[in-house]
Amino acid sequence: MANIAYWNLKKMKTTKKYILHESDMPKFWYNIVADMPNKPMPMLNSQTKQPLQPDDMEAIFAHELVRQEFSAERYIPIPEEVFDLYKIYRPTPLVRASGLEKALDTPAKIYFKNESVSPVGSHKLNSALPQVYFNKIQGIKHLTTETGAGQWGTALSIAGQHFGLDVKVYMVRISYEQKPYRKMVMRTYGAEVIPSPSLTTEAGRKILAETPDTPGSLGTAISEAVETALHSPDTRYALGSTLNHVGLHQTIVGLEAEKQMEIAGDYPDIVIGCFGGGSNFSGIAFPFLRHKFTEGKDVRAIAAEPASCPKLTHGIFQYDYGDAIGFTPMIPMYTLGHDFTPASIHAGGLRYHGAGALVSQLRRDGFVEAVDVDQIETFKAGVLFARNEGIIPAPESAHAIAVAIREALKAKEEGTEKVILFNLSGHGLIDIASYEQYFCNELQNYQPSANEINESVSKLDKLL
Amino acid sequence: MANIAYWNLKKMKTTKKYILHESDMPKFWYNIVADMPNKPMPMLNSQTKQPLQPDDMEAIFAHELVRQEFSAERYIPIPEEVFDLYKIYRPTPLVRASGLEKALDTPAKIYFKNESVSPVGSHKLNSALPQVYFNKIQGIKHLTTETGAGQWGTALSIAGQHFGLDVKVYMVRISYEQKPYRKMVMRTYGAEVIPSPSLTTEAGRKILAETPDTPGSLGTAISEAVETALHSPDTRYALGSTLNHVGLHQTIVGLEAEKQMEIAGDYPDIVIGCFGGGSNFSGIAFPFLRHKFTEGKDVRAIAAEPASCPKLTHGIFQYDYGDAIGFTPMIPMYTLGHDFTPASIHAGGLRYHGAGALVSQLRRDGFVEAVDVDQIETFKAGVLFARNEGIIPAPESAHAIAVAIREALKAKEEGTEKVILFNLSGHGLIDIASYEQYFCNELQNYQPSANEINESVSKLDKLL
C-alpha cells in the first residue's frame, strides 16, 4: 500500500463544487431594464405598428407575465410555490473546472454553473415553473408551446404536471424525427407532442402546402402554438426564450453564481453563455452586468452563438416578428429574418432567428460581445470537457465551453490569470446522437474551409 | 397580485434536499464483514474446489482490489485521488420525496438518496473510480468489463479516461441493439464497445456456435471480458457488482445518507435498494445494518428485485459460477443458475443470475428481506415518481420506488408514521425507450395474470 496516497485533511486540494443551501437561494429575480443605460425600444403591435400595450399580449400570455414583460422594477419576487419547486434542483452547484484547466495547462481559473443537474437536464425549468404558476393562478387550464432541440418542451411538460395544467408541445419536425428520446421524455411527463408544421393549425397547413418537405423551424412551431392558444379562452402560450420575462426568470442562475463566486473568493473577468434566444446567456450575464452598470466593475459578457445561426455576429438590428407567420408583435432585435430556416443538419438548439430585445440593445451599446463557433470546434470542445469533467455537455452548452477554452488558451499565451465563468446550461445525454454523428460522419466527410480550421481547432486536436 | 403567495422566510416549508459539503464526505468505506454475525462462506477455486486464495484472483483483478475482497477490516480508507474525483458529483443530495408523499397521501416520510446526479447518471461511478485507480497504481494499462443495461460500462469508461487507462466493454447484445444511446455515451468517453457474444473470444465463439440468435447475457459478457483480460499481462478485468469490494465502494452512499438523515432529524425504519448483483443495495443498506449489528437498532433492509430475475426470492442458495462459462471462482450465493438467460423483453438491468456472497449470507440469516416486483408495477411507480418529483428514474431504481410506495401505502392503512429511505440509484433519461415501450405496447398488449394485478398496481392506477 506504499504507493497509495490516502486522503489527508491537511493537504485537501481545491474545492471542486461551491454549494449553497436552499435557504441561501435568491428570493427575487433581477430585472436589468432598471439599470441598463439605454432602455430597449418598444415592441410594436404588428397591425397598427404602434408601441405595444400590455393588453395586446394578454390573449397570448398570462397577465402576470405580461406585467413582468413591461416592468422596469429592479427586483421581482419569486412566488413561494415556485420557490418550493425550485428546491427540487436549486441552488445548483458552481463548479471549478479543474480537470479542464489541467488539460489546457492554463493559468486561467475556469468556473461553470452546473444547470444540468435539473431533472430535465437544463436551465429551462427556471422559467417553465414560474410561467406555469402564473398561468395557473389566473385559472388557465391548457398551455401550448414550441420546442426545437426539446429542452424547453421537456421543462414545460413537467412544470405543467406539477401545477396540473395540460401541455401541448409543437416540436420542430426535424428534431421530432432525429430526437425520439426527447418526445418520449415529454410523454412520460404527460404532455402531448406534435411534429411541426402540422395539419392541426392554419399556419401549419399553409407552410406544408408551400413546402411539404420542410424540416420545420422554431418560427413555424411558434406560429402553430400561438394560433392554438388564440382559439381557446382558457389556453395560453408559453415561450422558452427571447422575451424579457423569460430572461428575468433565468437570472436566478447568475444571482446564485454571484454568491458562490464570493465564497470561492473570485470575481469573473469574463462571463460566457451560449446564445439561442438569449435566456441562458441573460441568466448568467445580467446579474454581473448589473455590477458594471451600478459599480463600474470590469466584466466582459460574451454570447457564444453557432456559426450556422449567427444573428448577433452577422444579423441586422431591426424590427422583426418573433415567429414565421407574423402572429407575434414586432421586436427590436438582431435578426436573420423571421423566415430563416436553419440547415437540417443542425438540430442542436440555438437555431432561433432573433436575439431578444434586451440583449440586442446591450449588444448595440457595446456591453455584450458576441462570437460564433462552428460545429467542429463545438463538438471537440464538448468531448474535451466530457473527458476531463465527466459531464457530457448539451451541444448548445458546448458553444460556451468552446469560447471559454479560447479565452483560457489566450490567457495561457498572455500568461495572465483570468477568471472565466460560463453557464453549463444543460447535459447532452438525451442529445448524444449528435456526438455520434460528429464521431461517425462529420469528421470523415467534412471538408473544412480555411476559415473553419481555425487556430482553436488545431489546438484542441492536440489535447484530445 | 393579491393571489400570489410570495416567498416568506417565516413560513419556509420543509427542507427538500439535505446537502453535505465536500469536506463532510466520508474518508473511509465500510466493510460489513467486520460486523456480520455469520461470516460469508469462502469462494472456491473452480478447478480445485478448495477455498479460493488471493493469489488465485490476481491474474484477473488488481492486487489492492483482491486485498479488499478478502479483507475483514471494518473501515478501508478512500485514496486521495479517488476522493478528489468523487467531488465531481459527491456528496449527493438526500431528498425528501415530498411530492410523492403528497400524491400517496401517506403519513410515512419518504427520503431518497439521489445518486442520479453523477455525470454518468448512476451510482456505478462510486466503484469505477477506485477500481481504475487501484489498477493504475499497479501499472495496468487496459481494462475489460461487461455491461448489461449500460450503466456500469458507462461509469468505467469515464473512470478509465480520468486515470488514462483504455477500456473495452462487452455489452450484452440485446442491450447493444436496444440502447444505442448507451454505446454512444461510452464512445464519447473514449471506450471501445463490443456486442456480446462476439467473435473476438473463444467463449463468444462457442456460445454463438451453439445459439447464434442469443440475445446475450451478463454471464456471457463476463466470460468474454475475463478471457480477454487473462490473455494479456497488463490487462485486468473490472466487475460492477456482486463482489465484496464493489459493495464496499458503494457504502459511501449509505455513509453519506446516515449523516444526512441525522441532519433531517430522522432515522429510517426501512431501507430499500433495487437488486441486481447487489452493489447499490449494499451501498445504501450496509451502513444502516451496521447499527443493527453493533447497537441493536431496529431497521428493515429490503432488496427489490424484478419478478423476471428473482434470485433472492426464488433462487437457491448454493455454490455457483459468476459467469456463464465457468472462468470465475464459485461463489456461495442465491442463484438462478449460471446459464440463466433473462427474457429479451427485459433489458432494464438487474438481470444478473446471482446475488453476491455478502447479501446472500445476510439474507440466509434473516437480516435482509427480499421482494419481487413485476414490470407493470415498476413502470407505474416510475411514472408516478417522475410526475411528482421531476426525476425520471432508471427502470432499475423504479423497482425500489415501487417497494417504497407499497410500504408507504401500508403505513397509510395502519396509520403509522414510518420513515422510509430508498436509493435512487440512477435516472432513466438514457433508458427512456423502455418507458415508451411501456406506454405504447405493454399496457395495450399485456395480459396480466391474477397474481400480477396485485393490490399495489390497482392503487397506483388511481394515482396516475
Q: Domain ranges for chain A, please list them.
A: 5-27+91-121+251-462, 32-78+122-244
Helix (H, G, I), strand (E, B) or coil at B7: coil
- The maximal CA–CA distance of chain A, rounded, in angstroms, is 80
Q: How far is B6 from chain A (nearest CA, A)?
A: 4
Residue in B13, B181, B387 closest to A432 by CB: B181
Helix (H) or strand (E) holding B361: helix B357-364
Give per-residue pLDDT as tens, A90-130: 999 999 999 999 999 999 999 999 999 999 999 999 999 99
Grid coordinates 462487452 are at which residue?
A: B170
Using the Cβ of A275 and the Cβ atoms of chain B, whether some distance falls under 8 Å is answered with: no
CB B342 within 8 A of CB B409: no
pLDDT at A444 over 50: no
Task: Identify the pLDDT of residue B463.
Answer: 64
| β-bridge pairing B75-77 and B28-30 | antiparallel
Give per-residue pLDDT as tens, B386-429: 999 999 999 999 999 999 999 999 999 999 999 999 999 999 99
pLDDT at B193 over 60: yes
Q: How far is B207 from chain A (nearest CA, A)?
A: 30
Task: Identify the pLDDT of residue B324.
Answer: 80
**Buried (b) or exposed (e) across A49-67, using 16+ Cβ within 10 A?**
eeebeeebbeebbbbbbbb
List CB contacts (< 8 A) between A398 and chain B: none
- Between A326 and A412, name the one with better pLDDT: A412
Task: Identify the pLDDT of residue B345.
Answer: 52
pLDDT mean over A326-341: 89
Nearest to A209 by CA among A194, A199, A218, A222: A199
Cα(A159)–Cα(A189) distance, rounded to whole angstroms? Answer: 9
pLDDT mean over A382-411: 96
Helix (H, G, I), strand (E, B) or coil at B116: helix
pLDDT at A35 over 90: yes
Residue in A81, A181, A189 closest to B387 by CB: A189
| β-bridge pairing A142-147 and A166-172 | parallel
Helix (H) or strand (E) holding B159: helix B151-163
Minimum CA–CA partner of A11 in chain B: B80
A vs B: CB pairs below 8 A: 167
Number of neighbours of residue B2 by Cβ within 10 angstroms: 4
Confidence class of residue A463 from pLDDT cuts 50, 70 and 90? low
Domain B5-27+91-121+251-462 has CATH 2.60.40.10: no
pLDDT at A405 over 50: yes
Give per-residue pLDDT as tens, A289-325: 999 999 999 999 999 999 989 999 999 999 999 888 8
Task: Identify the pLDDT of residue B445.
Answer: 45
pLDDT at B288 over 50: yes
Grid coordinates 472456491 are at which residue?
A: B44
Question: pTM of this prediction?
Answer: 0.92
Nearest to B300 by CA among B316, B283, B281, B285: B285
> How many percent of chain A have pLDDT more than 70?
90
pLDDT mean over A75-79: 97
Task: Identify the pLDDT of residue B352.
Answer: 86
Beta pairing partners, A95: A17, A112
CB A274 within 8 A of CB A311: no
Using the Cβ of A387 and the Cβ atoms of chain B, whether some distance falls under 8 Å is answered with: yes
Across the interface, whether the CB atoms of B432 and A5 are under 8 A apart is answered no
Give per-residue pLDDT as tens, A220-251: 899 999 999 999 999 999 999 999 999 999 99
Max mean pLDDT among B268-282, B319-333, B339-353 falls in: B268-282
Helices B244-264 & B125-136, crossing angle to 10 degrees? 130
HSE (side-chain half, CA atoms, 13 Å) at A428: 31
Retrieve residue A442's grid coordinates.
462529420
Cα(A246)–Cα(B187) distance, rounded to whole angstroms? Answer: 36
Using the Cβ of B10 and the Cβ atoms of chain A, whether some distance falls under 8 Å is answered with: no
Helix (H, G, I), strand (E, B) or coil at B9: helix
Task: Identify the pLDDT of residue A455.
Answer: 56
B315 CB-near residues (< 8 Å, 6+ apart): B334, B335, B336, B354, B355
List CB contacts (< 8 A) between B88 and chain A: 16, 99, 389-391
Q: Give the CA distances from residue B426 to residues A8, A77, A410, B256, in Å, rounded to whole numbers and listed in that order.
A: 30, 34, 39, 17
Across the interface, whether the CB atoms of B5 and A81 are under 8 A apart is answered yes
Interface test with B, best of A23, A80, A82, A112 (most B CBs within 10 A): A80
Residue B124 DSSP one-character state: T
Q: Which of residues 115-134 of A touch B (CB under 8 A)?
A: 117, 119-121, 125, 134
Q: Is B178 exposed, middle or buried (0-12, 13-18, 19+ CB in 10 A)?
A: buried
- Angle formed at CA B22 by CA B16 and CA B28, multiple of 5 degrees: 110
Confidence class of residue B327 from pLDDT cuts 50, 70 and 90? confident
Task: Identify the pLDDT of residue B339.
Answer: 84
CATH level 3 topology of A32-78+122-244: Rossmann fold (3.40.50)
Give per-residue pLDDT as tens, B122-154: 999 999 999 999 999 999 999 999 998 899 999
Retrieve residue A139's grid coordinates.
385559472
First to last CA, chain B: 33
Grid coordinates 402540422 are at which residue?
A: A198
Fold match between A5-27+91-121+251-462 and A32-78+122-244? Answer: yes
CB A316 within 8 A of CB A335: yes
What's the 3-state SS for chain A?
A: CCCCCECCHHHCCCCCEECCCHHHCCCEEECHHHCCCCCCCCCECCCCCCECCHHHHCCCCCHHHHHHHHCCCCEEECEHHHHHHHCCCCCCCEEECHHHHHHHCCCCEEEEEEHHHCCCCECCHHHHHHHHHHHHCCCCCEEEEEECCCHHHHHHHHHHHHHCCEEEEEEEHHHHHHCHHHHHHHHHCCCEEEEECCCCCHHHHHHHHHCCCCCCCHHHHHHHHHHHHHCCCCEEECCCCCCHHHHHHHHHHHHHHHHHHHHHCCCCCEEEEECCCCHHHHHHHHHHHHHHHHHCCCCEEEEEEECCCCHHHHCEEEEEECCCCCCCCEEEEEECCCCCCCCCCCCCCCCCCECCHHHHHHHHCCCEEEEEECHHHHHHHHHHHHHHHCCCECHHHHHHHHHHHHHHHHHHHHCCCCEEEEEECEECHHHHHHHHHHHHHHHHHCCCCCCCCCHHHHHHHHHC
Cα(A46)–Cα(A324) distance, rounded to whole angstroms? Answer: 13
Using the Cβ of A386 and the Cβ atoms of chain B, whether some distance falls under 8 Å is answered with: yes
For the residues of B39-108, what is the DSSP string, one character each? Answer: PPPPPB-TTT-SBP-HHHHTTTS-HHHHHHHH---SEEEPBHHHHHHHTTTPSPPEEE-HHHHHHHT-SS
> How many percent of chain B have pLDDT more than 90?
78
**Buried (b) or exposed (e) across B350-375, using 16+ Cβ within 10 A?**
bbbbbbbbbbbbbbbeebbbbbbbbb
Retrieve residue A457's grid coordinates.
481547432
Residue B283 DSSP one-character state: H
Across the interface, whether the CB atoms of A390 and B81 are under 8 A apart is answered no
Task: Identify the pLDDT of residue A445.
Answer: 45
CB A342 within 8 A of CB A351: yes
Residue B347 DSSP one-character state: -
Interface test with B, best of A89, A102, A384 (most B CBs within 10 A): A89
The pLDDT mean for chain B works out to 91
Across the interface, whether the CB atoms of A189 and B64 are under 8 A apart is answered no
List CB contacts (< 8 A) between B181 and chain A: 181, 429-430, 432-433
Q: How far is A95 from chain B (nearest CA, A)?
A: 8
Cα(B113)–Cα(B98) distance, rounded to whole angstroms? Answer: 13
CB A260 within 8 A of CB A292: no
pLDDT at A184 over 50: yes
**Buried (b) or exposed (e) across B76-112, using 16+ Cβ within 10 A?**
bbbbbbbbbbbbbbbbbbbbbbbbbbebbebebbbbb
Task: Identify the pLDDT of residue B455.
Answer: 56
Helices A218-230 & A202-210, crossing angle to 10 degrees? 150
Q: How far is B102 from chain A (nearest CA, A)?
A: 12
Cα(A213)–Cα(A217) distance, rounded to whole angstroms? Answer: 12
> How many percent of chain B have pLDDT more than 70?
90
Nearest to B235 by CA among B62, B65, B66: B62
Helix (H) or strand (E) holding B325: none
Interface test with A, best of B391, B392, B427 (most A CBs within 10 A): B392
Across the interface, whether the CB atoms of A433 and B184 are under 8 A apart is answered yes
Minimum CA–CA partner of B189 in chain A: A387
Nearest to A280 by CA among A248, A311, A309, A317: A248
